[in-house]
Structure 1
Amino acid sequence: MKKLILLVIVFQFLFFTNTFSQTDWKKYEENPTLESSPSGSWDGEGIMGCTVLFDGAIYHMWYSGFDGIYYRIGHATSNDGIEWDKDPQNPVLDVGALGSWEESTVYLPCVLLVESVFHMWYDGAWGWIEKVGHATSSDGSIWTKDPLNPVLDVGTSGSWDDTQVFPMAGSVIFDNNIY
């Protein structure tokens, strides 16, 4: 009988905790909050794949921009998370040199702030081969690519990851000094 009562109490705790902790989301009526630049701009053909981070003072958004040929990464800031100002340094992360592993694409940023340093993991590509790169910044605008890039390479031919590995927003965490 005690086991049954304990089971009922645990069930009620789990059920009511999950039921009442759900958030009802409502779309912001003024969407989109960030739009593509005019055609011909580095992000003139579309934007996507963003990470938003609050640093204690302002919101930062890093997003993927497309010009019709290349994907690059841009940066915007906001005081309220709704009205955004694009960074005059945009694109803040550009494609690599011809023949490099990231010559055609840098996009899908995943950014963490650790001890006053922004760390970005991003997808870099040449053709259809996509790998993960890493860059750091003290201000979120000026980035230094890791000399060890790519930090996550594709698998061997025939493996499940032989053409693509990429980060998604929130896919990297920092816990006990380990990424």
Structure 2
Amino acid sequence: MAKLYLLLLAVLCGFRTSAQQKPKMYFTDTSATGIMVAKDPVVVKFKGRYLMYYSKQVFRNSADGMQGWNIGIAESKDLYNWHKVAEISPEAEYEKKGLCAPGALIRDGQVHLFYQTYGNGPKDAICHAQSADGLHFTRDASNPIFSPKGDWTNGRAIDAEVYFYKQQYFLYFATRDPAGQIQKQGVATAKAGSNFGREDWKQASDNSILYPALDWEGQCIEGASVIKRNNKLYMFYAGSYNNVPQQIGVAESKDGISWKRVSDKPFLANGAPGSWNTSESGHPCIFEDEDGQTYLFYQGNNDKGKSWYLSNLKIGWTKKGPYILPNQ
């Protein structure tokens, strides 16, 4: 009986240790005193190194956390171990209250960054900047380059994702309903030769292309990240607001505008009690490496947003869509 008790205790302790164990990638930004925050990751491989752009909070002076955001830049050789190398701080008048939630793509030897202003409520909008070294960026003279119009939206645009598909660029963004309560996805397009300026983007739908409808999605769908597989697009998205918990879902599309969910369940749920991401697994970035392997980057925490960490999981694919590779 004593041996059986010890065996059961060991098993239970083992499960507890496993639940609390940190993942292989576990990155945060501690460069602002007393604040361990890294959110909203996007990753590119540029000139032989991996670069990750992310939101970092430099101060907290409001109850809703709507101010004090910069964009951090980290570097890695293996996609798991990262160190910070630079930071993008507000320069222009339109971003003086903060900038964050970057999206990124590489074209013609330049990193193009699509980021949002923050702290302006319905007036937050998408901006564009570009860089020859991935660290120092020149702002687009036409910034902000996009905000939605129509009676379906309050005019806000955040969480930009730009993806080239069927000879045009798709700009996916999150906006809110006119009352500012429901967060949902919209899309704009630009021609293949676009310079990504304000005049190039045309709203492709006068309605939401993905609206929260499932219980776990709550009142929010945001943070879209897109990849092409199986001759169609897959969108990894964040469902529900932060720490509700936010979890990650997947939708698919053949034309980039009409989307349907792959499943009514989260693709990546928040962690079990005691784990590093108990409060959420959110804001995805699906990254395709040069060898075709894919990694899902995401944010998480276990203290309701007092701190934030970034991690990743390796993703496999079948004709039915993505799946999380085992033993991670």
Letter of the 1:105 counterpart:
R
Question: Do structure 1's residue 175 and structure 2's residue 229 form an aligned pair?
Answer: yes
Give CA deviations for 1:45-73 in whole Å, capped at 9, x if unaligned: 10010011102432100001125332100
Distance 1:81 1:132 in 2: 28
Per-residue deviation, residues 12-55 of structure 1 (Å, max 9, x unmatched): xxxxxx9x956532211xx31x22235xx332210010011102
SS at match of 2:157: strand
User: Retained in 2: the 8 A contact 1:42–1:72?
Assistant: no
Contact 1:64 1:71 in 2 (8 A): yes
Q: For residue 158 of structure 2, what is the amino acid of its counterpart?
A: Y
The answer on 1:143 being equivalent to 2:143 is no
What residue in structure 2 maps to residue 117 of structure 1?
Answer: 168
Counterparts of residues 123-162 of structure 1 (less than 5 Å): 123-126=174-177, 127-138=180-191, 139=194, 140-141=196-197, 142-155=200-213, 159-162=215-218
Q: Return the alpha-carbon distance in structure 2 between the equivalents of residues 116 and 55 of structure 1.
A: 14
2:12 corresponds to which residue?
A: none
- Decide whether the 8 Å contact of 1:71 with 1:95 is kept in 2: no
- Compute the TM-score of the two structures, normalised by the length of structure 2: 0.42
**2:127 maps to which residue?**
74
The aligned counterpart of 1:13 is none
The corresponding residue for 2:98 is 46
Contact 1:45 1:67 in 2 (8 A): yes
Identity of aligned residues (%): 21
| Structure 1 runs, 4 residues or longer, greater than 6 Å off | none
Structure 1: state its 5+ residue gaps: 1-17
Task: Extract unaligned runs of 5+ from structure 2.
Answer: 1-23, 25-76, 234-328
Provide the alpha-carbon RMSD of the alignment: 2.4
TM-score, length-normalised on structure 1? 0.73
Q: What CA deviation, in whole Å up to 9, does each residue of 1:102-128 have, x standing for no partner?
A: 214210011112354221111011312
Structure 1 residue 75 displacement after superposition: 0.3
For residue 110 of structure 2, the aligned residue among 58, 61, 77 is 58
Report the number of matched residues. Answer: 150
